[in-house]
Amino acid sequence: MKSINLGLIGFGTVGAGVVKILRQNEGIIERKLGAKLNLKWIADLDIERDRGVKVEKNILTKDAYVILNDPSVDIVIELIGGYEPARTFILHALKNKKHVVTANKALLAKDGIEIFETVSRNGVDIGFEASVGGGIPIIRSIKEGFPANNIQSIYGIVNGTCNYILSKMSDEGKSFHEVLKEAQALGFAEANPNFDIDGIDSAHKITILASLAFGARVDLEKVYTEGISMITPIDINFARDFGYRIKLLAITKRVGSEIEVRVHPTMVREENPISRVNGVLNAIEVTGDMVGENMLIGKGAGALPTGSAVMSDVLEISRNILNGGVNRVSPLSFLPRYIEDVKIKSIRDIVSEYYIRFSVLDKPGVLSTISGVLGNHSISIASVIQKGRGEKGGVPLVLMTHSAKEEDVQHALSEIDKLDVVFDKSVLIRVENGERV
């Protein structure tokens, strides 16, 4: 039986998951591939620590270049994450005509196009299924499931940490900081959770998905990114009163000749299935002009789900090697010469519905003053709630707008926040009321 040689760089959680899958499901993999997958090397700076899987000592090395320069290694699996040295390792592997499998969303979001060009120039393959949505086969779905579609939009809950925190806040009425602490104690959030809670991890993932969906170069710097740390139980409860849930959504859609790519807390109608995806689960809804709406839900993190995605790439590339089909599908599905620069719409220019909570003094005429300012900025109110008497003699005045331009809303809010009757900064949450989301 033929064999394909693998070199794994990064023996952390996902690396150990990959080794476990290779061992536990060896039989089923061989029956599907007709070849053996031979784990020739594992490189990690720490080769002493017990990773919970058995490996022969002689395949462990501290030097990634042992793998990168070994002519017998067919596929390099990069699972160290982060920008450097991952970038250098991947480019070195590609130049040495090795195929690459990576879960590295931060690197691909920033330098994906350069890396994909290097892949094509060297006549090798790259797989990055594990970079978005953990075990959910979202990359392969867009590339190979919907290739004859014009993708119209993607809405995703692509960060399990944020979804866990928002779900817990919603179920138990606890504050953001309280739930974050619990999540860290349970190991659901990193000790330094900023990439997750500030929306940066989601921005990396939606940048990759937007490139795939639209065959576009997407500049990560232009992706509007807002995290969840300002969300309070008050807003979660008002959202519920209006029939919504608050989710951190990563959104990309085509609007005329431009695309929107943005990450922010979003109010989603409770009838929408995505609003009921709770805990650490991820969900991604892709809408194509021919296929309509498709939603994929599953585990967005963890050793085995993410390892499963890594292995799907390893098998696909192995099949390509065995059948002479390398480069069968381009990294972004679109042929490299057709990858375009597409204008990303500024957040100021988007049109959305909005939830706005004002903290106002409880006295006659306040609502009419505020609605007057909104009216002057062409913002039309859809509904209003004011209930309870708040602290400091003030009350929350909450309203939902009809569709409005973000720039107009921001101008109106800065004017309103300066009024004497307003005693705190207004809270704004965008509302998505598309066909489904």
Q: Which of 77, 101, 301, 370 binds ligand HSE (CB under 6 A)?
A: 301
CB of 69 to ligand HSE, least distance (A): 30
Q: How far is the CB of 163 from ligand HSE (least distance, A)?
A: 8
- Smaller CB separation from ligand HSE, 132 or 412: 132
Among 300, 305, 331, 394, binds ligand HSE (CB under 6 A): 300
The catalytic position among 40, 110, 205, 247 is 205
Closer CB to ligand HSE, 161 or 318, in the complex:
161
One of 74, 196, 235, 260 touching ligand HSE (CB under 6 A):
196
**Could you tell me how many residues of this chain bind ligand HSE (CB under 6 A)?**
7
429 binds ligand HSE (CB under 6 A): no
Check residue 17 for interaction with ligand HSE (CB under 6 A).
Answer: no
Tokens encoding 348: 């100021």
Q: Among 27-35, 159-167, 212-220, 383-391, which window interacts with ligand HSE (CB under 6 A)?
A: 159-167
If one asks whether residue 201 binds ligand HSE (CB under 6 A), the answer comes out as: yes
Rule CB under 6 A: choose which of 104, 141, 152, 159 binds ligand HSE.
Answer: 159
Two tokens, residue 17: 């998951």
Work out how close the CB of 202 gets to ligand HSE at its nearest, in angstroms, rounded to a whole number: 8
Beta bridge partners of 37: 4
C-beta of 186: minimal distance to ligand HSE in Å?
A: 13
Longest dimension (CA), the chain: 84
Judged by CB under 6 A, the stretch of 155-163, 176-184, 267-275, 355-363 that binds ligand HSE is 155-163
Residue 359, C-beta contacts closer than 8 angstroms, at least 6 positions apart = 390, 394, 395, 396, 397, 422, 423, 424, 425, 426
CB nearer to ligand HSE: pick between 122 and 306: 306
Q: How far is CA 316 from the centre of its chain?
A: 23
Nearest approach, Cβ of 197 to ligand HSE (angstroms)? 9
Least Å distance, CB 95 to ligand HSE, is: 28
Span near ligand HSE by CB under 6 A; candidates 136-144, 158-166, 175-183, 239-247: 158-166
Applying CB under 6 A, the span of 153-161, 354-362, 374-382, 408-416 interacting with ligand HSE comes to: 153-161
Q: Which is nearer to ligand HSE, 41 or 155 (CB)?
A: 155
- 254, 263, 166: which is closest to 222 by C-alpha? 263
Residue 259 vs 301, nearer CB to ligand HSE = 301
Q: How far is the CB of 264 from ligand HSE (least distance, A)?
A: 16
CA separation for the pair 253, 129 (Å, rounded): 21
Q: Which of 17, 156, 160, 396 binds ligand HSE (CB under 6 A)?
A: 160
Choice between 166 and 409, CB closer to ligand HSE:
166
Q: CB-wise, 199 or 396, nearer to ligand HSE? A: 199
What mask of x and - would describe binding to ligand HSE in positions 112 to 151, judged by CB under 6 A? ----------------------------------------
User: How distant is the alpha carbon of residue 209 from its chain centre?
Assistant: 8
- Least separation, in Å, of the C-beta of 6 and ligand HSE? 22
CB of 196 to ligand HSE, least distance (A): 5
Residue 205 annotated among the catalytic residues of the structure: yes
**Does residue 100 contact residue 93 with C-beta atoms inside 8 Å?**
yes
Amino acid identity, residue 108?
L
The residues annotated with a catalytic role in the active site are 205
Q: What residues line the site for ligand HSE (CB under 6 A)?
A: 159-161, 196, 201, 300-301
